[in-house]
A and B are shown apart, each in its own frame.
Chain A
């Protein structure tokens, strides 16, 4: 009758020393035991509720017992929930696993870490009824399914049962809308202001702007397509992209497909900006780095991201019908993807490409000065890419260029210098020719550049300016400053003098060394001593 059988009562009686409990007494006691148990549990539940919990603990039972003036049961109180074990062979009999603990073990055990102290943290659960998307809040489904009646309305309208995909409603708080409006307005109207810089910082750090990402990506795509002629805006947009990419609280992956075309546009577009004086090169470099950083960060998520990007770029690079500006962008883009990409994709095509490029660069063959400048730019980019690749290789094998050979190199250099100088004077360019010694003097600083460049690969904008101005080869305005690439005897001579040296050294080197040596040789063949600026500064110092 009672859930406590009388046998249990008898057993308990025996355990406390009452041997001969009559069965009548046990029978009478059993219901009362059950009743008292229930009573205690009822009080324990009250205690649990007042402790604002929904799980009953041993402590609650103890406080219920003390409420009833009963001695609490000691030994079960603990912060953790009790671990019950099911008794073998019984369906609903549980016991607490109470294993023997070796005292020595307890003493020898290292002290446990002090528990963390209670603290209070505050956050906004809601701002004017809208939950901000911050890590402290749960993820809310911001996208609300369209209401039913709307659907029926639509189907009524066209009379056909077409499965229409209605635009999903996205709930945005007023603050976010304001924020978005402000940022977009700043981007379009005042990209130079300090305010815009602040905005970029905010975009890169704010944790609550995730709901705005689709709007931003749409805005960027839209704006890039529209203002291809407006360089400052394009630049500002790319900066916004960079800030968004930097923001650690944003999941930008779903929107990359919308952003990437815009970025690539800014790398390989035929024309960016409206004026001739616009420095669209800078934008191309910047965007190229951006694209590369995207590949680096999300390449593991989108496996075809990099392959698609490189395909686009290499197509632009290898298509002779494309403008030189596009070639420049493609090269920069490929270079930004890393030296191995350059080695695998650019260098094999280097020689034929240079042959194409060469006529564009020469005053005699290309009368349009703009075109010529562009060609020089492309050349510079190629040199930089190749040089970086070379530098990278050489860095692996510092033993390749050892001091004993330096005199030779120096001589070589000098020869080259005098020769090119001579050549330049003979070509009698209208432009003022800085003495080539300056290039030589620039050598060490130029050589430092690759290091800076690799550091700047992540896309720091300030690194960009340093790069373009630092490398001697890259100077656009004074094309004569760069030692002109000649197909004449000088180069053959230079190449000839290096190659044997190289092979002499490489005789004791590994296969990779050989590769690097070949690389150097071939590059030198292509570029002349402009390549030298990419060789490590220690060695470089011997040249002067």
Chain B
């Protein structure tokens, strides 16, 4: 008896100190000793091997469910990892049939939180599959990390001691890392965030996330040029795009517009003043950085145009929301895969699954379409089905042929003279919007290229592919400059950092990574999403990043710390696109649930600092939800003047 107690004390000590490996070694040795002591017993145990897993698990489950209410939710968290590993152990041991029975018996418990993982694991039917499936490998190699309070941990230990269930104890020891915190159990029950995969991967992530990154904006950027003119008297020139709309209405000639303008101008000036102040306080924290890439020189007239745009930018905040111009693709027959809008909103491109690329030209043709459609508004019936394209005019778009597979992504260069498209034929093509022709075909990826993005300064672009890599290219070379490898599954989306020194990639392995463009190294891993990442956006001040996933969750990350600032929950379906407003105060998200939502960035970042009232502030952060008429939102783009452009394909189920 005494010996056993000593052993227990030793085990407890080891656990407390976190010497898991030693503990394991100790246990193995103990087991060996006990095996050797009564071999016939061990034989019997081996025989009923498969049964002990399901027995042990069902007992553990029963115990966890009947435990004290206060500690229940913490104890229940243990079940999922145990369940997964019991299953995988069974499969690995060759008891495929039993594994399946076991899997289905307890599947329901975890369906609500881990459905996607379960669906993937369901297919595992042989030890070979275990190796092949990415998810199971990562489960095997890494540890689950579970936070629980001291008392829950004690309870669990007591139970494991009492029942003598070595199987369960083994599984728990091997695959779960407990993070024991003193005091009361955490309040948020049923939150799966507390079950994260720990271990090597997370160590790696932690290690990586300690690397230094310079998220400051570039030195000598145009924004700096702006500071001067804004303070000048030139701000009297401020014009608001919305004004033009109001004036377009045949009210009473020009008279109507003037008071509006006056009012807005006054307001704007005050807002500009405010914003400059707040910006300077924020900017002082972020040091300006030098570009790591040689950046292309911008033409003087282009620079002038940008400055003009910046000067006449509408200031947005949680009170002043943007105007949204929506481009609806009609009669697409569900063939539109992607769309993009140029910075100034004058060009719209759509990539189709029939490998064609359609670029709609000048905004004026769209304007005419608006007129005809508004006339048709009277004829209620004909309205949605078919806006007849236009009457006896030339085609309102240019057709680009060249790809030999569905086009998955398009992007305009910052000044709209080039267009890039990526396709399932694993190529990227560069098109000139001036010459209406294909200029270059970039071959490098081996599998479909899911996403391609021009850098904020043009010239460089990044692509991501099914081959699990992201690549950086320059327009003038047909070979990639950098290959970023490291994701464990498809790289689904890619986005440039505002200072062009980093790119972010979102992947089907549910992580977002940040890569240094110069060195090609991964500098941050963001773990937290529960499904495939579909969209990314970088805040213009370079500090934050937003990522949207398949479930409709948007997460806001602080790049410097690598932590999630706040999850923004509101969409019910895939978040296809995200966009920050030009001064970074608003985040717009477009989703398959046919809404555009506007989120208050400043509120969400502030709330995280206070670290409280997470549930109540959640609602505050959503500023506005704008439903469309059965049009999933594919693309969002803020113009330099802060007008928001959105595009989507009308998908009427007839």
Contacts and interface: CB of A to CB of B under 8 A. Distances in A.
Interface of A: 1-2, 31-32, 34-35, 37-39, 42, 46-47, 49-54, 57, 59, 63, 67, 79, 115-131, 134-138, 140, 175, 178-179, 182, 186, 195, 198-199, 201-202, 205-208, 248-249
A92 to B, nearest CB: 16
A39 B323 CA distance: 44
A54 B326 contact: no
Nearest to A117: B389
A56 to B, nearest CB: 12
Contact of A198 (B125, B250, B330, B634): B250
Contact of B333 (A47, A115, A122): A115
Given A52-B592, A115-B333, A136-B373, A32 B125 contact: yes
A125 B122 contact: no
Contacts of B322: 126, 128-129
Contact of B249 (A1, A35, A39, A206): A206
Given A51-B408, A79-B334, A120-B348, A125 B628 contact: yes
Interface string B336-363: 1110000000001010110000101001
A46 B334 contact: no
List 6 A-B pairs, minimum CB-CB distance, nearest first. Answer: A129-B321, A31-B125, A38-B123, A125-B326, A125-B324, A116-B331
B592 A125 contact: no
A346 B584 CA distance: 73
Contacts of A198: 250-253
Contact of A195 (B255, B335, B573): B255
A139 B353 CA distance: 32
A140 B378 CA distance: 19
Given A50-B450, A201-B250, A131 B626 contact: yes
Contacts of B596: 125-126
Given A52-B337, A128-B321, A182-B251, 17 more contacts: A1-B97, A32-B126, A38-B123, A51-B353, A67-B448, A116-B386, A117-B395, A120-B328, A120-B396, A120-B397, A121-B370, A121-B387, A122-B326, A136-B326, A175-B242, A208-B249, A249-B378
B129 interface: yes
B436 to A, nearest CB: 17
Contacts of A131: 626
B624 A129 contact: yes
Nearest to A39: B123
Interface string B387-401: 111100001110000
A202 B123 CA distance: 64
Interface in B612-632: 623-624, 626-629, 632
A50 to B, nearest CB: 5
Contacts of A116: 330-331, 386, 388-389
Interface string B514-544: 0000000000000000001010000000000
A467 B250 CA distance: 31
Contacts of A42: 120
Contacts of B508: 46
A186 B252 contact: yes
Contact of B377 (A138, A186, A207): A207
B590 to A, nearest CB: 10
Contact of B326 (A63, A124, A202, A248): A124
28 contacts: A1-B97, A38-B119, A38-B120, A50-B408, A53-B334, A57-B334, A67-B448, A115-B333, A116-B331, A117-B395, A118-B330, A119-B329, A119-B389, A119-B390, A120-B348, A121-B327, A121-B387, A122-B326, A124-B323, A125-B326, A127-B242, A131-B626, A134-B377, A135-B383, A175-B242, A182-B256, A195-B253, A198-B250
Nearest to B328: A121
A175 B97 CA distance: 69
B245 interface: yes
A5 to B, nearest CB: 13
Contacts of A206: 249-250
A120 B490 contact: no
A122 B350 contact: no
A129 B643 CA distance: 11
Nearest to B333: A79
Contacts of B249: 202, 206, 208
Nearest to B259: A178
A47 B338 CA distance: 12
A16 B458 CA distance: 55
Contacts of A138: 627-629
Contacts of B395: 117
A251 to B, nearest CB: 12
Given A138-B629, A198-B253, A121 B634 contact: no
Contacts of A49: 492, 532, 534, 550, 574
Nearest to A126: B324
A281 B389 CA distance: 50
A183 to B, nearest CB: 9
B160 interface: no
Given A63-B406, A125-B626, A119 B330 contact: yes
A142 to B, nearest CB: 14
Contacts of B328: 120-123, 136
A195 B250 CA distance: 11
B626 A1 contact: no
A61 to B, nearest CB: 13
Interface in B296-336: 320-336
B598 interface: yes
Nearest to A43: B466
Interface core residue of A34, A38, A134, A205 (most chain B CB under 10 Å) = A38
B502 interface: no
A53 to B, nearest CB: 7
Nearest to B629: A138
Contacts of A248: 377-378
Contacts of A34: 123, 125
A189 to B, nearest CB: 13
Contact of A199 (B252, B373, B598, B626): B252
Interface in B43-102: 96-97, 100
A52 B648 CA distance: 10
B646 interface: yes
B422 to A, nearest CB: 10
Contact of B369 (A2, A59, A119, A175): A119
A381 B350 CA distance: 66
B637 interface: no
Given A46-B490, A63-B424, A118-B332, A179 B396 contact: no
Contacts of A38: 119-120, 122-123
Interface core residue of A35, A51, A134, A207 (most chain B CB under 10 Å) = A51
A43 to B, nearest CB: 8
B183 interface: no
Contacts of B369: 119-122
A104 B287 CA distance: 76
Contact of B260 (A2, A178, A207): A178
B576 interface: yes
Nearest to B352: A118
Contacts of A31: 96, 125-126
B366 interface: yes
A408 B369 CA distance: 65
Contacts of A179: 251, 256
A49 B321 CA distance: 30
A459 B634 CA distance: 48
Nearest to A63: B424
B367 interface: yes
Contacts of A2: 100, 125
Contact of B329 (A32, A118, A195): A118
B374 interface: yes
B246 interface: yes
Contacts of B397: 118-120
B447 interface: yes
B320 A128 contact: yes
Given A121-B369, A137-B629, A127 B333 contact: no
